[in-house]
């Protein structure tokens, strides 16, 4: 079964992007942005890609503060994470 034929989960996207974006889901990157794999939501787009997004946090004086939203588009044909 190809990535295009199945409904993907974030863990599968992590595996599929291991070569094309090896640091995106690394424990160090997730920790830096205050994220976990479960922070991410997936929305399939009309063009076949998946929008993946998760809140990003800074820790200021020990307090978790929203910095913004991490947003990428997973392309199941190329296994790349696109900005747009």
Q: Decide if pLDDT at 3 tops 60.
A: no
For residues 73 and 10, what is the distance between their CA atoms, to the nearest angstrom? 12
Pairing label, strands 41-44, 50-60: antiparallel
Helical H segments across the chain, by residue range: 10-16, 27-32
pTM score, whole prediction: 0.84
Query: pLDDT tens digits for 10-62?
Result: 999 999 999 999 999 999 999 999 999 999 999 999 999 999 999 999 988 98
Query: pLDDT tens digits for 35-49?
Result: 999 999 999 999 999
């Amino acid at each position: 079964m190809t990535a295009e034929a199945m409904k993907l989960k974030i863990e599968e996207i992590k595996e599929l992007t291991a070569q094309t974006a090896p640091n995106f889901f690394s424990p160090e990157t997730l920790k830096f942005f205050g994220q976990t794999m479960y922070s991410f939501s997936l929305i399939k787009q009309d063009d076949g890609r998946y929008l993946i997004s998760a809140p990003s946090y800074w820790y200021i004086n020990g307090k978790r503060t929203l910095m913004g939203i991490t947003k990428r588009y997973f392309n199941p044909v190329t296994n790349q994470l696109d900005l747009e």
